[in-house]
A and B are shown apart, each in its own frame.
Chain A
Amino acid sequence: ETGVTQTPRHLVMGMTNKKSLKCEQHLGHNAMYWYKQSAKKPLELMFVYSLEERVENNSVPSRFSPECPNSSHLFLHLHTLQPEDSALYLCASSQGFTGEGYEQYFGPGTRLTVT
């Protein structure tokens, strides 16, 4: 248990559906991240939020829409996804961008299958 939770753990959705992934951190961190982990590929950073402000959008298609209402919660809204978007989506948090708080702590992930 790393202090970062993700729901749901598993999600199956059709290409026309709209769904959301939720991440919550209980560590008092100020930065949150979305990563995508596909088979046979390294983890890919998708989005970075610092103090609820998006500081990085790593060329992610617009069918993925992040939302960070406060420093403890992060959402990833999904719509009109493609089968190649099937992957493990990992959320992470860190204390911030200064000092010794560089370590990122990960949630258990959401296994997404797009049919």
Chain B
Amino acid sequence: AQTVTQSQPEMSVQEAETVTLSCTYDTSESDYYLFWYKQPPSRQMILVIRQEAYKQQNATENRFSVNFQKAAKSFSLKISDSQLGDAAMYFCAYLFVQGAQKLVFGQGTRLTINP
């Protein structure tokens, strides 16, 4: 069974600084997707960024980028120029593309932005 592990329950960063959130996953599959979701206090789960496993190039979305290491099964999220609005729970998620689309989530990392 696929599992996703986020080893940092909480992280904090100074506003305008850079922070990296860690995620590792376990799978025997070669074709899958990885996602980072953000859940602010409003509880709305928002898709931040996605990575296709077959792509070697790391995905970027404005201030958000990932470091995808397929052999190491690692998928970290880097947030540059942190803003107060980035404060939220961040969830790493794995999706196996065959069959029913079951997203497997990690436990989450609570990110605090210090002004």
Residues of chain A having any CB pair with chain B under 8 Å: 2, 31, 33, 41-43, 45, 48, 50, 55-56, 58, 88, 90, 92, 94, 97, 102-109, 111
Contact = CB atoms under 8 A, between A and B. Distances in A.
Interface in B9-65: 33, 35, 37, 42-47, 50
Contacts, number: 57
Interface of B: 4, 33, 35, 37, 42-47, 50, 91, 95, 97, 100-108
A42 B47 contact: no
Given A42-B105, A42-B106, A56 B43 contact: no
Contact of A90 (B45, B47, B97, B108): B45
A2 B101 contact: no
B108 A108 contact: no
Given A42-B107, A103-B35, A109 B100 contact: no
